[in-house]
Structure 1
Amino acid sequence: MTGNGNFQITPVGWRYRWMAAMLMPFALAVSARLALRHRQWRYLAERLGWCHSDAPHRPLWFHAASVGEVLALVPLIRALQARDPARPVLVTTVTPTGAEIVARQLAGIASHQYLPWDTPRAVRRFLDKTRPCCTVIMETELWPTLYAECACRGIPPLIINGRISTRTQRPRRWLRDAYRSALANSCAVLARSPADAEGFLTLGAAAGKVSVVGNIKLAPPVNTAASTGKPALHSSYVLAASTHEDEEQRIARLWLAQPKSEHLLVIAPRHPQRGPAIAARLRQLTSAVAVRSQGDRIEPATRIYLADTLGEMQWLMGHAKLVVMGGSFIPHGGHNVLEPAHLGKAIITGPHMDNFSEETALLASAGALYQVRGYSELETTLAELLGNAARRGKLELAARHVLAPFNSILGTYEDAVAAHCRCLKTR
């Protein structure tokens, strides 16, 4: 139970409850489609709040929306579990890909369940079964009904690595009221930056609840063996990481326009289930494509390798000559550039890094990445960096140097969570 003895609970507004009820048929349809696609009928059941029979009782509960948030949580969960090995840990996610990362990275440490939809019945079913001793929410998951039910049970959520996007700061009126009620029912917000802290205050968080702890994603990865434990799949390759639709084709096209060299282009899509569709489009451009999920070998003639598998990104980054961050050449907002930076990689991003603007600015100001304006500039920059090992070396050294001061941030979060979650044993 968190340390909030006389906690005043704020009810959820009627507008949000009405809107949630109206959207439930759509939510059920989406859940059923995902359950069918991933052949996981538990996805549908758990989104409705039903728990599997071996769900942990009185766990330390963490919620992380998807893959990136789960990966950032893994070191923290391992550290807290080492403090109190007898305390069960539950991790909820929204996506099946997030669930797979929990299974891979936290096997034997944490159980997994999908987060229930934000309706009273679904949330109560979930909480009645699991009865968490503490609730920890990663980043920007503001669910008013969930927060209110947790507060009623004496476990008001603790938001860690709190992040507020520009879009979230400008919600419709009914959604702003809902966010305000959720934040009122949280026990504290540990923001990743002063700008994010200000964003939570703008949304209605009480000033006394909000503090800046730092970005947990700046912490170095604990399991470096994941990037170096397996041999490289090729002696020299460029990794296009976490790509989205259209980016694969555009990057492949400019790659094929360059003279053939000893380098290989490896494409690792953000959503590996798109692999068959991506492979079909790539083969319209060239026959020199190999696909990892199909067991294809890399031959001397191979120009492009599609790594459409899950859980191998750190390994792929660890052996890459340089990394091109996907999600940044379309208006998606980019992906976490700190992952390759911690591995000391030369990094190129596109212009759309809105969701990671502070991280991008930190690395760019230190000369640790190139941010290009589009595909034409990407083509030029790729050619320059692949042909100049000294320039790549400067980027790699700058990345390691600029992140060195953040080596203690994991311990700071560990102590902060332990202070709020009093069900954890102290050292």
Structure 2
Amino acid sequence: MSAERSSLPSRPPKGWARCLYSGALYTLSPLIWRRVWREQVPTHPRLERLGLVPALNGATLWLHAASVGEVIAARPLIEALCSRYPAHRLVITTMTATGAERVDALFGGEVTHHFVPLDFPGAARRFVSKLAPDLAIFFETELWPNLLEACYRQGTPVAVVNGRLSERAMRGYRRLGALMANALAKVDWLAAKSNEDAERFRELGMASERLSVVGSLKFDISVDENVCGESERLRASFGTRPVWIAASTHPGEDEQVLTAHGRIRERYPDALLVLVPRHPQRFDDVADLCRMRGEHLARRSRSEPVQRATTVYLGDTMGELMRLYGAADIAFVGGSLVPIGGHNLLEPAILGVPVLSGPELANFLDVAEVLRSANALTDIADAEALGEAVSDLFAAPAERLRRGDAGKAAIMAQRGALARTLDGLERLLPCPSELPTRTDNSQ
């Protein structure tokens, strides 16, 4: 057990709130199971949701990232853990099927993936017992009371990294005060993204001596040179026409994007929109919407070429967003014209692509502020403003270049959270040289 573990109270807060929480989960279990039933991939049995996974031999690290966005944000940390702790098997868990597919696409056999068990007491105990991790790492706000309890009972140190807690989430968690205080008492170290996030965690009961502000891991994003090369080839296939991308869009947002594109084409008739819906189950619906709006559509999933008459290129594939961003002159990041909280502004910015966003940015306020400070983020309020902003940037290539360069430089200047996070995690683990080489089991 780590030295940090000794800083925990000898008797954690009473678990009555967790017992009530568990009872509520059991009562709602039919609804919960139905909700996760479709979150599945063929290579993983659904019984993983009950903690039924193969036992592992040797040293193991466990990192939980809920879905696609968290997996992408955690990528620098995952790569660093694989490099720094080669004697450990790294197990990644996700809640969603799209998150599982992203883990496989990014890391393949370099890591082991399982679906995280539902937070029933028995499932949590079975899962932690089978993994027997030397360290459990929860990404952002994934605070599951029974999983944390299972780690505590087994003596597994727990870290929460890239910890964030929005004001909206804080209001919800505050109503579960006793439950959250009990859960946070099981966390050995919490690495918050900002002073504001740290203060909210303190209000929920996180001890200050086990809380650090390290910055956002999102800023340590890296760009694969192969991806850049593929972006250049894709851009060349589009020709010299102006190209903009609307990525990670949601219902109610695609309609606004297509309205904006119609206005853009009044000034730039050959403009091409690359439209990338957030969720794959919506690809066909968005394709139908484009046709209904009279757009000439090409679908990437079908390898349909972009021809002179094509007005919308539908990015209906998974794992290719960075390639598509790199092929555009301007990027609008979705989830921001509808009350979703925004999506990852860093991906286009690190590629030097000027970034536009709507006002709904609760999940990315820190990133938005960095880009705004560098005059590298264009805020738009609606479809009309989006069309006008894109058209104005098409008309000003020098300004596009300046904003793209400024955004990339601002992101590069914020790096460093990864090193600080790794330093904190190292205090919870033995030195890699002291560990035996793991026994490699089949997955």
Shorter-chain TM range is: over 0.9
Code of the residue aligned with 2:180 in structure 1: it is Y
Q: How far does residue 273 in structure 1 lie from its aligned partner after superposition?
A: 2.4
Of the structure 1 ranges 251-260 and 69-78, higher mean CA displacement relative to structure 2 is found in 251-260
Q: How far does residue 67 in structure 1 lie from its aligned partner after superposition?
A: 1.0
What residue is the counterpart of 1:50 in the other structure? 52
CA distance in 2, matches of 1:426, 1:162: 29
What residue is the counterpart of 2:84 in the other structure? 83
Q: CA RMSD, aligned part only?
A: 2.1
CA distance in 1, matches of 2:209, 2:270: 57
- Shift of the 2–313 alpha-carbon distance from structure 1 to 2, 3 Å rule, reads farther
How many residue pairs align between the two structures?
423
- Which of the residues 363, 368, 373 maps onto 1:355? 363
What residue is the counterpart of 1:247 in the other structure? 253
**Residues 349 and 408 in structure 2, CA contact (< 8 A), matched pair in contact too:** yes
Code of the residue aligned with 2:243 in structure 1: it is Y
What residue is the counterpart of 2:202 in the other structure? 201
What residue is the counterpart of 1:168 in the other structure? 169
TM-score scaled by length of structure 1: 0.93
Code of the residue aligned with 1:4 in structure 2: it is E
TM-score scaled by length of structure 2: 0.90
What residue is the counterpart of 2:413 in the other structure? 405
Q: How far does residue 253 in structure 1 lie from its aligned partner after superposition?
A: 2.4
**Residues 228 and 318 in structure 1, CA contact (< 8 A), matched pair in contact too:** no
CA distance in 1, matches of 2:173, 2:72: 31
What residue is the counterpart of 1:385 in the other structure? 393
Task: Map 1:279-298 onto structure 2 (within 5 A).
Answer: 279-298=287-306
**Residues 31 and 43 in structure 1, CA contact (< 8 A), matched pair in contact too:** no
Q: Secondary structure at the match of 1:190?
A: strand
- Shift of the 319–173 alpha-carbon distance from structure 1 to 2, 3 Å rule, reads closer
- Shift of the 189–240 alpha-carbon distance from structure 1 to 2, 3 Å rule, reads same
Does residue 1:4 correspond to 2:4, yes or no? yes
Code of the residue aligned with 2:210 in structure 1: it is K
Code of the residue aligned with 1:242 in structure 2: it is S
- Shift of the 224–419 alpha-carbon distance from structure 1 to 2, 3 Å rule, reads farther
User: Structure 2: which 5+ runs fail to align?
Assistant: 436-443
CA distance in 2, matches of 1:63, 1:25: 24
What residue is the counterpart of 1:419 in the other structure? 427
- Which of the residues 284, 306, 328 maps onto 2:336? 328
Q: How far does residue 301 in structure 1 lie from its aligned partner after superposition?
A: 0.3
**Residues 5 and 157 in structure 2, CA contact (< 8 A), matched pair in contact too:** no
**Residues 157 and 187 in structure 1, CA contact (< 8 A), matched pair in contact too:** yes
User: Structure 1: which 5+ runs fail to align?
Assistant: none
Q: How far does residue 177 in structure 1 lie from its aligned partner after superposition?
A: 2.0
Does residue 1:153 correspond to 2:154, yes or no? yes
Task: Map 1:37-116 onto structure 2 (within 5 A).
Answer: 40=42, 42=44, 44-51=46-53, 53=54, 58-116=59-117
Q: How far does residue 73 in structure 1 lie from its aligned partner after superposition?
A: 1.5
Q: How far does residue 79 in structure 1 lie from its aligned partner after superposition?
A: 1.7
CA distance in 1, matches of 2:175, 2:157: 22
- Shift of the 425–71 alpha-carbon distance from structure 1 to 2, 3 Å rule, reads farther
**Residues 330 and 355 in structure 2, CA contact (< 8 A), matched pair in contact too:** yes
What residue is the counterpart of 2:224 in the other structure? 223
After superposition, the C-alpha distances for 1:164-192 in whole angstroms (9 at most, x for unaligned) are: 01122112666232221111111011001
Q: Secondary structure at the match of 2:276?
A: strand
- Shift of the 11–312 alpha-carbon distance from structure 1 to 2, 3 Å rule, reads farther
CA distance in 1, matches of 2:116, 2:57: 14
CA distance in 1, matches of 2:230, 2:427: 35
Does residue 1:32 correspond to 2:34, yes or no? no
Code of the residue aligned with 1:215 in structure 2: it is S
